[in-house]
Structure 1
Amino acid sequence: MTHPVHSSPNPSPSAGKLLSGGLLGLLLVIFLASFLYASFLFFRTARAILLASPQAETHPLLLRADHEEEAQQALAEAPQGPQNQLSQLLPGTSRDATPEIPLDSFWETQEPVNILLLGIDQRPNEKGYFRTDTMILLHINPKTGDVGMISFPRDLWVEVPGYWETRINSAHVIGDAKGYPGGGPALAKKTVENLIGQPVHYYVRINFEGFRKLLEEIGCIEIDVPKLIDDPTFPDDNYGYDPLYIEPGHYCMDAELALKYARTRHVDSDFGRMERQQQVILAIKDKVLSTGELPRLIVRAPALLNILSDAIQTDMPLSKMIALANMARNMKLDNIRRLIIDVDMVEPAITDTGAWVLMPKMDRIQAAIHDFFAADYVEEPGQGEAIPPTATSPATTPSPGTASPQQAVRIIVLNGTTTSGLEKEVSDVLLSYGYNIVGIGQADRNDYATTQIIESGGDERIVRDLADLLGVSDQDIRPGSPDQLQADIVIILGANFVMPE
Structure 2
Amino acid sequence: MCGDERQASASSCAPIVQESIALIVPRRSSAMARIADFMVFRIVPAALLLGALYFGYRVVQDLTRRLDEERVVRERQAAYVQTATAIAPAQATEEPGDGAAAGKAQFRLLRLLPEAAQDFVTNTPVGAAAPEIILPPTNTAAPQATATPEPEVPQFTATPRPLPTLLMPANVDPKIIPPTAIPTQVPPVDRRGQDILNILLLGNDGEITNDGYIRTDTMIVLSINRSAGTVAMLSLPRDLYVYMPGWTMQRLNVAYIYGESAGWTDGGFGLLRETLFYNLGINVHYYAMVNLTGFKEIVDTLGGIDVAVDCALQDYPLVGAEVPEQAIVADEDGLLTLPVGYHHLNGGAALWYARSRGNSSDFDRGRRQQQVLRAIWRKARDTGQLANLPTLWSQASELIETNVPFEEILSLLPLALNLDTQRMEQFTMRRLYDTTPWQTPDGDYVQLPVYEHILELLNDMYTPPTESQIRREGAQIAVRNGANIENLDLVAAERLSWSGFNAIASGPVDDGTIYTDTILIDRTGQTKGSSLGEIAKILNVKPENIRTEPDPNRTVDFEVILGTNYNSCTFNVLPVEG
TM-score by length of 1: 0.51
Quick one: structure 1 residues 48 and 202, their matched pair in 2 at CA, closer, same or farther if it must change by over 3 Å?
A: closer
Aligned match for 2:360, one of 268, 273, 298: 268
For the pair 1:315 / 2:399, whether they are aligned, the reply is no
Counterpart of 1:374 in structure 2 is: 463
Residue segments in structure 2 that go unaligned for 5+ positions in a row: 1-71, 88-126, 133-154, 163-193, 323-332, 468-578
Give the CA deviation at 1:309.
2.3
Quick one: structure 1 residues 364 and 148, their matched pair in 2 at CA, closer, same or farther if it must change by over 3 Å?
A: same
Q: Which consecutive segments of 4 or more residues in structure 1 shift more than 4 A?
A: 43-46, 78-83, 124-127, 296-301, 329-334
Cα distance in 2 for partners of 1:288, 1:141 equals 21
Q: Secondary structure at the match of 1:262?
A: helix
For the pair 1:341 / 2:458, whether they are aligned, the reply is no
Counterpart of 2:137 in structure 1 is: none
Give the CA deviation at 1:202.
1.2
Q: Secondary structure at the match of 1:311?
A: coil
Cα distance in 2 for partners of 1:326, 1:248 equals 34
Residue segments in structure 1 that go unaligned for 5+ positions in a row: 1-42, 53-62, 68-77, 84-101, 379-501
The 8 Å contact of residues 219 and 235 in structure 2, kept in 1 or not, is answered as: yes
Q: Secondary structure at the match of 1:348?
A: strand
Residue type matched to 1:49 in 2? A
Matches within 5 A, 1:176-195: 176-195=260-279
Quick one: structure 1 residues 104 and 129, their matched pair in 2 at CA, closer, same or farther if it must change by over 3 Å?
A: same
Cα distance in 1 for partners of 2:257, 2:465 equals 33
For the pair 1:353 / 2:442, whether they are aligned, the reply is yes
Counterpart of 1:283 in structure 2 is: 375
The 8 Å contact of residues 189 and 203 in structure 1, kept in 2 or not, is answered as: no
Counterpart of 1:73 in structure 2 is: none
The 8 Å contact of residues 234 and 242 in structure 1, kept in 2 or not, is answered as: no
Cα distance in 1 for partners of 2:312, 2:130 equals 48
Counterpart of 2:28 in structure 1 is: none
Give the CA deviation at 1:108.
4.5
Counterpart of 1:390 in structure 2 is: none
Aligned match for 1:196, one of 270, 277, 280: 280
Counterpart of 1:49 in structure 2 is: 78
Cα distance in 2 for partners of 1:346, 1:111 equals 29
Deviations 1:69-106 (A, max 9, x none): xxxxxxxxx978998xxxxxxxxxxxxxxxxxx98543
The 8 Å contact of residues 114 and 199 in structure 1, kept in 2 or not, is answered as: yes
Residue type matched to 1:337 in 2? E
Quick one: structure 1 residues 377 and 253, their matched pair in 2 at CA, closer, same or farther if it must change by over 3 Å?
A: closer
Counterpart of 2:413 in structure 1 is: 325
Quick one: structure 1 residues 313 and 371, their matched pair in 2 at CA, closer, same or farther if it must change by over 3 Å?
A: same
Quick one: structure 1 residues 246 and 190, their matched pair in 2 at CA, closer, same or farther if it must change by over 3 Å?
A: same
Q: Secondary structure at the match of 2:207?
A: coil
Q: Secondary structure at the match of 2:337?
A: strand
**Which stretch of the first structure deviates more once superposed, 139-148 or 43-52?**
43-52
Cα distance in 2 for partners of 1:224, 1:376 equals 24
Give the alignment's Cα RMSD to 1 decimal. Answer: 3.9
Q: Secondary structure at the match of 1:162?
A: coil
Cα distance in 2 for partners of 1:267, 1:361 equals 25
Aligned residues: 293
Cα distance in 2 for partners of 1:366, 1:151 equals 14
Matches within 5 A, 1:300-311: 302-303=391-392, 305-311=393-399
Cα distance in 1 for partners of 2:297, 2:74 equals 25
Counterpart of 1:152 in structure 2 is: 236
Quick one: structure 1 residues 104 and 264, their matched pair in 2 at CA, closer, same or farther if it must change by over 3 Å?
A: closer
The 8 Å contact of residues 255 and 271 in structure 2, kept in 1 or not, is answered as: yes
Deviations 1:397-423 (A, max 9, x none): xxxxxxxxxxxxxxxxxxxxxxxxxxx
The 8 Å contact of residues 106 and 326 in structure 1, kept in 2 or not, is answered as: no
Give the CA deviation at 1:168.
0.5
**Which stretch of the first structure deviates more once superposed, 362-371 or 105-114?**
105-114
The 8 Å contact of residues 320 and 348 in structure 2, kept in 1 or not, is answered as: no
Give the CA deviation at 1:220.
2.8
Indicate the structure (1 or 2) with the bigger Cα radius of gyration.
2
Residue type matched to 1:150 in 2? L
Q: Secondary structure at the match of 1:219?
A: coil
For the pair 1:163 / 2:247, whether they are aligned, the reply is yes
Give the CA deviation at 1:325.
2.3
Quick one: structure 1 residues 204 and 81, their matched pair in 2 at CA, closer, same or farther if it must change by over 3 Å?
A: closer
Give the CA deviation at 1:176.
0.6
Residue type matched to 1:310 in 2? E
For the pair 1:249 / 2:336, whether they are aligned, the reply is no
The 8 Å contact of residues 243 and 249 in structure 2, kept in 1 or not, is answered as: yes
Give the CA deviation at 1:268.
1.4
Give the CA deviation at 1:122.
2.7
The 8 Å contact of residues 287 and 404 in structure 2, kept in 1 or not, is answered as: yes
Aligned match for 1:139, one of 223, 227, 230: 223
Residue type matched to 1:340 in 2? T
Quick one: structure 1 residues 223 and 275, their matched pair in 2 at CA, closer, same or farther if it must change by over 3 Å?
A: same
**Which stretch of the first structure deviates more once superposed, 195-204 or 155-164?**
195-204
The 8 Å contact of residues 236 and 242 in structure 1, kept in 2 or not, is answered as: no
Deviations 1:244-270 (A, max 9, x none): 321222212222222111110021111
Residue type matched to 1:170 in 2? V
Cα distance in 2 for partners of 1:377, 1:196 equals 25
Give the CA deviation at 1:215.
0.8
Aligned match for 1:225, one of 288, 301, 309: 309
For the pair 1:208 / 2:292, whether they are aligned, the reply is yes
TM-score by length of 2: 0.45
